[in-house]
């Protein structure tokens, strides 16, 4: 790796001699220095349920519950950015409740739609069978 044509800033020049290192070692009297890092208890990051809200908004927006859940999910995400974990937890909880409600309504609507489709197909089959009997009687009338 060539460094031609590039000048290092004065603070980042590699040490060419060991005088500065030895001066630092003499200053610490030969003892290694220690760095202490205080680590607090882990903070649980609240969930915002953003993807679930998008799914409910796009595929089952019953009474705009999915859209409302999406709004609360975005608010929760914004609260996480500004480190307000309690506000993020509150908005995330509201988004979760709205998502659950929207999902339950979507499942109920899907079940009702399937039941109505089955009833419609049965009625259509019955109508076709009744009409085919009538057509046979009409075709056999003159014979």
Render pLDDT for 26-59 as a digit per residue (tens, 0 to 9): 555 555 666 777 777 777 889 999 999 999 999 8
Which pLDDT score is estimated for 45? Answer: 87
State mean pLDDT over 114-132: 91
The residue length of the chain stands at: 143
Q: Which residue has the higher pLDDT, 3 or 117?
A: 117
DSSP, res 62: G
Which pLDDT score is estimated for 50? Answer: 94
| Angle (nearest 5°) at CA 8 between 6 and 14 | 125
State mean pLDDT over 84-101: 95
Least trusted range by pLDDT, from 37-46, 103-112, 114-123: 37-46
């Amino acid at each position: 790796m060539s460094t031609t044509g590039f000048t290092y800033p004065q603070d980042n020049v590699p040490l060419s001699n060991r005088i500065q290192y030895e001066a630092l070692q003499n200053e610490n009297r030969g003892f290694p220095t220690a760095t202490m890092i205080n680590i607090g208890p882990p903070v649980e990051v609240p969930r915002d349920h953003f993807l679930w809200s998008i799914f409910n908004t796009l595929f089952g927006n019953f009474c705009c519950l999915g859209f409302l859940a999406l709004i609360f999910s975005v608010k929760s995400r914004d609260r996480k950015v500004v480190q307000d974990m309690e506000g993020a937890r509150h908005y995330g909880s509201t988004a979760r409740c709205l998502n659950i409600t929207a999902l339950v309504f979507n499942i109920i609507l899907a079940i009702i739609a399937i039941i109505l489709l089955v009833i419609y197909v049965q009625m259509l089959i019955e109508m076709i069978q009744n009409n085919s009997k009538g057509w046979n009687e009409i075709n056999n009338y003159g014979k």
